[in-house]
Amino acid sequence: MEQANVRRPPIRVVLADDHPIWRDGVRSDLGSGFEVVGEASSAEEAIAAIRAQQPDLVVCDLQMPGGGGIAVAKACGEQTRIVILTVSEQERDLLDAVAAGAAGYLTKSTPGDVLRAELVKAAAGEPVFSPSLAMLVLGEFRRMAKQATGTDPLSDREREVLQHVARGYPYREVGEQLHIAPKTVENHVRNILDKLHLNRKQELIRYAIEHGIE
């Protein structure tokens, strides 16, 4: 009970969008659980702010001067968790963002309470995607999976874990659905990364999409 009452420090965020009014709106939506430690209106400014502030999370528009969110994800995706917040619902934009190293992709129509919840998950290391877009992309890449060759290096249980992780479920919920401990889920993810020669969980999402694992 005592742990439940411990006040967690706010999540340190860099906001990057070339529209100051939009940044103001997002800052207002975030509330007291977040601390905005830097703002930027271009990819170059965002990269500089990230390197200077070392934030827990970056909320970044896809389209900005200097290459936008894709440039930011490529430059800083290994350094911090980057969530693209955009008006674009194009599959190609989502795929490009994931490939660049983004940890999430949400649309600007996401309600404030949902946005806060998703960003908390992202800061904790979970991938977050607008559900309609994630399912759209998975459906598209089912067809591509039929062209894949070679044997599957993953066990049935590992494929089950990957399916749930790719949908954005946190380890706790994956464990509940598969009736295993969260630590076991984490171990499976580590083994999957090793087998597939991948380095980050975002790369697992891309692998699942490209191989039609859903």
Q: Could you give the CA distance from residue 12 to residue 55 in angstroms, rounded to a whole number?
A: 5
Which residue among 129, 151, 167 closes a domain? 129
Which residue among 101, 129, 157 closes a domain? 129
pLDDT given at position 145: 45
Do 52 and 67 lie in one domain? The reply is yes
Do 64 and 155 lie in one domain? The reply is no
Do 103 and 16 lie in one domain? The reply is yes
pLDDT given at position 143: 46
Domain that holds residue 170: 136-210
Contact at 8 Å (CB) between 11 and 33?
A: yes
Do 111 and 8 lie in one domain? The reply is yes
Do 102 and 180 lie in one domain? The reply is no
In the beta sheet, which residues pair with residue 84? 60, 105
The DSSP output letter for 9 is P
Do 145 and 110 lie in one domain? The reply is no
pLDDT given at position 165: 79
Q: What is the CATH number of the domain that holds 66?
A: 3.40.50.2300
pLDDT given at position 147: 43
Question: Residue 5 region, left (φ>0) first, then alpha (ψ -120 to 50), else beta?
Answer: alpha
Do 100 and 152 lie in one domain? The reply is no
Q: Report the number of distinct structural domains present in the chain.
A: 2
Which residue among 93, 113, 129 closes a domain? 129
Contact at 8 Å (CB) between 59 and 36?
A: no
Averaged pLDDT in 10-residue chunks for the chain of 214 residues: 60 95 91 93 96 96 94 92 91 83 89 92 86 62 46 75 78 88 85 72 66 59
Do 125 and 65 lie in one domain? The reply is yes
Q: Could you give the CA distance from residue 141 to residue 68 in angstroms, rounded to a whole number?
A: 25
Q: Could you give the CA distance from residue 36 to residue 53 in angstroms, rounded to a whole number?
A: 10
Do 154 and 186 lie in one domain? The reply is yes
Q: What is the CATH number of the domain that holds 181?
A: 1.10.10.10
pLDDT given at position 194: 75
Do 118 and 69 lie in one domain? The reply is yes
